[in-house]
Chain A
Amino acid sequence: MKKIIQHFGGDLEWVDSYAKQFGGKVSGNSIIVPKEIHTGEKYVLSCDEGIVALYVDVKYHIDLCLIQQNIKKDFVALFYNLSKSKAELTCGGSSDAMGAWFYNLSLIDSDSDFKFDIKKGSEVFIFCIFIKKEQLVLFAKKNKLYSERINDIININSAEKKITEWDRMSNDCFQLLDDLRKHKKDSITFDLSMKGTTHILISDYLRGIGKNEIIRQHVSESDFFSIIKCQHILIQNLQNRFPGIKSLANQIGMSQTRFKFFFKMITGYTPHSFFLNNKLFKAKELIDTQEFTIEEIVYKLNFPSSSVFSNAFKKQFGMLPKAYSLQL
C-alpha cells in the first residue's frame, strides 16, 4: 500500500509539497495528480486571511494510506466528508468510519497526527477548511464569542488536550456542499462560490460551538448510527410518501418515543420535517434543471397535491415554486 505523508496549513505554503507527494503538480488553483492514483478534482483556495479551503472530489485507483503530520501547529482543520465510500480514520488509538453516512464532520487540531485508509475504487468527496488559530482568537474577540469549547479549540498552549472531534454536519451544510459540487470547476464564479461556502460553513460551525453542544457525548454509538441509517433510508426514499414513525422505528429496532427523541437530538429536525425539508430541496433541484413542470415534480416526488407542494415550498424558501422557476 502506498503511503503518503501530507501536511496542511492556514496559508498556501503546503500546496506544492502536497502535490509533489502525489507525484503531481499545481496549476493555478488546481492540484493535478497522475491518473493512476486518482481521477477527479482537487482545488485549493485561500478564502480569507488565515483561512484556506481544499476541495477534493476524486476517485482513487490504488490503495492509499494518507498520514497527516503537520509541520505548522498553528491551525485547526475542519473536514466535511461526503464520500459515498466508507474510509477508516485512525487518530491516536481509536479508529472511526468516515463518510456521508457515518461521521461526516471532524475538527482536528494541527498538532494531532492521523491516518486515513483509502481503498482502491473509493469515491471521496471532502471539503477541508484550515483556519489559523490566531484568526479564530481575533474573530472570537471581535464578535464577543465566549464559550468553553472555543477556548479548548483555540488554546494555543494546549499541552493538556489536543482537540479532535467527530460529528455529523447539519442538513444545511449538506445541501450547501451539494450545491457547490454542482458548480463547474472551470466556471468563472467557482472561486466566489467556494469562498461563500467556506464562510457559511465556518459560521455554521461557530454557531454550533456557541450552543456548546456535541451530540456524540449524549448518545451511544449504536443509537447514533441507527439514526444515521434512518436518515439514509429517508434520503433514498424522497420520491415516496413519508413512511411513518412506526415503520422507521421498526426498521432500526428502536421504540417510537426513543427514536423520535434521538432523531431530533442528532439531526435537529423531527423525522417528518427532515424528510419534507430534503424533499423540498430535491424539488428545488428538479426545478433548477428546467426539465420539468411543477405538476410533473409534484407527481414525481409524490406530494399529495400541487397546492400542498406550493405551500410547503413557500414556507421553506419564501417564494412560490412557479415564481422561483420563472425567475431562474
Chain B
Amino acid sequence: MVELKHTYSHKIDWYTALAKSINATLINDKIAIFPENIGQGVSFSCTVMDGMSVVLIDGVFTADVLAKRIESDDDLYILHFDLSEKINMLNIDENRMDGCVPECKSGFSVVHSSIGSNLILLKGQRVFTLRILIEREKLINYLIEKDKKLKNIEKKILFYNHLNSNNKLLINSLKGRSVFDADFELYIKGISFKVLANFIDTYTQPTKSDIRKVELNGLNTAAEFLITNVKDTFPGLSYLAKIAIMSKTKFKASFKKVYDEGAYSFFVRCKMTEANKLIKTGNFTSLIEISNEVNYNRKRFITAYFKYFNRHPLDDFKCADDL
C-alpha cells in the first residue's frame, strides 16, 4: 500500500509538497499528474475565493493508496464528496478514535482539520473525490450575517452526511470535463460555489415535507368525506383510500402522519363532537335518539362518549336541560 502524508491549508504549499513527495508532475501549481507506479490520473487544486479552496482527485490507481491527512492547526472544515464507482473508506485518525467523523456510506461527510483522517483509495476503479476546504470562521460568519437564527447551526455539522442529489449531479458534471481545459478552473470554481450553496441549503433546512401536495389534497378530501357523512357508518379504509386516490397501506400511514390519528378514531372523534353538539341544542329528549342520530347503539355510544369526554352523556343532557 502506498502511503501519502499531507496536511491541508489554504496556502498551496501542501499541494506542491505532496506532489513532490510522490514524484507527480505538477503543472501551473494546480494540476498534478500521478506517476505510473501509483496509477493513472490527475489531481486538481485551486483557491475558489479567500478562505475557500477545492481539491479534486480523478484517477485509477494500480495499488491501494492510503491518503493520510495529518491534523493541523488551520481551522478548516473539509467537505468530502466521494463519487467513485465504489465509495472509498474514510477513517479518522487511529489515535483519536473519539467518533467525531461519521461513516461515509453516503459518499459525503464533513471533517474538521484538527482531526486527522485516513482515506483508503481502492485500486482498479475510477476514484473521483472532491473536497472543499473552507475556513470555519468564514463559513459561520457568512451564515450568521445572512441569518442570525443560524448562530448554533454548527453543532451537528460533523455528523451531517446527507449527499444531496443536486450536489451529486453537479459533481458528476465534472467527470465529463478535462482538467487540462483552459476553462476548467472557472468551471470547478462555479461548481464549488453551487455545491456549497446546496450544502448550506440542505443542512440549514433539513426538514422537507414528505407528503406531496396531491396526496395531501387526497387526504383532505377523505377527511371531508368523513365529516360530511358523520351520521353514517364508517365507510372502511379501502373506500377512503379510493377517495384519496392511493393504496390502503399508504392511506393509513399518510393519514396518521397528517392528522396524528387513524382514520377510524378521527371519524369517532367527529361523531362524538357532533353528538355533543346535538345534545347541547336541546332538541332531543333521550339518549337513544342521539345515539341513533350518530349511528350507535345506546350502550356503545355511552362508552365511546365517556372515553372521549371523560363524562357520561347524561351529564351534558342535564346541563342542557338546566339552561
Residues of A participating in the B interface, judged by any CB pair closer than 8 Å:
48, 139-140, 142-145, 187-189, 192-193, 195-204, 206-207, 210, 290-293, 317-319, 323-328
Q: For window 130-175 of chain B, which residues contact chain A by CB distance below 8 Å?
A: 143, 146-147, 150, 162-166, 168-169, 172, 175
Which secondary structure dominates chain A's binding surface? helix
Q: Find the residue from A139, A187, A200 having the highest chain B CB count within 10 A.
A: A200
Partner among A189, A196, A204 whose Cβ is within 8 Å of the Cβ of B192: A196
Query: In the complex, what residue of chain A is closest to B213 when comparing beta carbons?
Result: A291
Instruction: Name which of B200-208, B230-238, B298-306, B313-321 contacts chain A.
Output: B200-208
Q: A203 and B186: CB pair below 8 A?
A: yes
The interface residues of chain A lying within 8 Å CB-to-CB of B189 are 48, 196, 199
A200–B194 alpha-carbon span in the complex (Å): 10
Across-interface contacts of A291 in B (CB, < 8 A) = 212-214
Chain B, residue nearest A317 (CB) = B169
CB-defined contacts of A290 to chain B, threshold 8 Å: 208-209, 212
Chain A residues whose CB sits within 8 angstroms of the CB of B163 once the complex forms: 327
Q: Are B213 and A200 in contact (CB under 8 A)?
A: no
What chain A residues lie within 8 Å of B212 (beta carbons)? 290-293
Number of interchain pairs (Cβ within 8 Å) = 108
**Residue from A197, A292, A318, A324 within 8 A of B190 (CB atoms):** A197
Any A CB within 8 A of the CB of B14: no
* B275 → A minimal CB distance (Å): 38
CB B203 to nearest CB in A, in angstroms, measures: 10
Residue on B nearest A284 in the bound complex, by CB: B169
Binary interface encoding of chain B residues 54-81 relative to chain A, with 1 for a CB under 8 A from any of its CBs, else 0: 0000000000000000000000000000
Contacts of A210 in B (CB 8 A): 181-183
Cα separation A149 to B192 with both chains bound (whole Å): 28
Query: What are the residues of chain B within 8 A of A317 when measuring CB–CB?
Result: 169, 172
B2 is an interface residue with CB less than 8 A from chain A: no
Nearest Cβ on chain B to A146's Cβ, whole angstroms: 9
The count of chain B contact residues (Cβ–Cβ below 8 Å) is 39
CA distance A151 to B194 in the complex (A): 30
> What are the 6 tightest A-B residue pairs by CB atom distance, in nearest-first order?
A199-B190, A196-B193, A200-B190, A196-B194, A203-B186, A192-B197
A209-B175 Cα distance, complex, nearest whole Å: 22
Residues from chain B with a CB closer than 8 A to the CB of A199 are: 186-187, 189-190, 193
Once the chains bind, are A192 and B185 in contact (CB under 8 Å)?
no
Nearest residue, chain B, Cβ from A290: B212
Closest Cβ neighbor of A296 among chain B residues: B214
| In-complex Cβ contact of A206 among B143, B182, B198, B208 (8 A) | B182
With A196-B189, A324-B165, A324-B168 known, 13 other A-B pairs at CB within 8 A are: A192-B193, A192-B194, A192-B196, A192-B200, A196-B197, A203-B190, A204-B183, A207-B181, A318-B168, A319-B169, A319-B172, A327-B164, A328-B166
Interchain Cβ contacts under 8 Å between A and B, 11 examples: A142-B28, A188-B147, A193-B194, A193-B197, A198-B190, A203-B184, A290-B209, A291-B213, A293-B212, A317-B172, A328-B166
Whether B49 sits at the interface, judged by CB under 8 Å, is yes
Q: For the complex, is B243 an interface residue (Cβ under 8 Å from A)?
A: no
Q: Which residues of A contact B208 (CB under 8 A)?
A: 290, 328
Chain B residues closer than 8 Å to A318, beta-carbon distance: 168-169, 172, 175
Distance between B184 CB and nearest chain A CB, rounded to angstroms: 8
Cα of A54 to Cα of B214 in the assembled complex, Å: 38
Complexed CA–CA distance, A109 and B198 (Å): 34
Residue among A202, A293, A319 making CB contact with B165, cutoff 8 Å: A319
Task: Please tell me which one of the listed residues A145, A197, A328 contacts residue B182 in the complex, with CB atoms under 8 A apart.
Answer: A145
- What residues on B are CB-neighbors of A48 within 8 Å? 49, 189
Partner of B187, one of A139, A140, A200: A200
Chain A: which residue is nearest B202 at the CB level? A328
Residues of A within 8 A of B183 (CB): 143, 145, 202-204, 206-207, 210
Distance between Cα atoms of A318 and B84 in the complex (Å): 12
Asked, given contacts A188-B143, A327-B164, whether A143 binds B187 with beta carbons under 8 Å apart, the answer is no
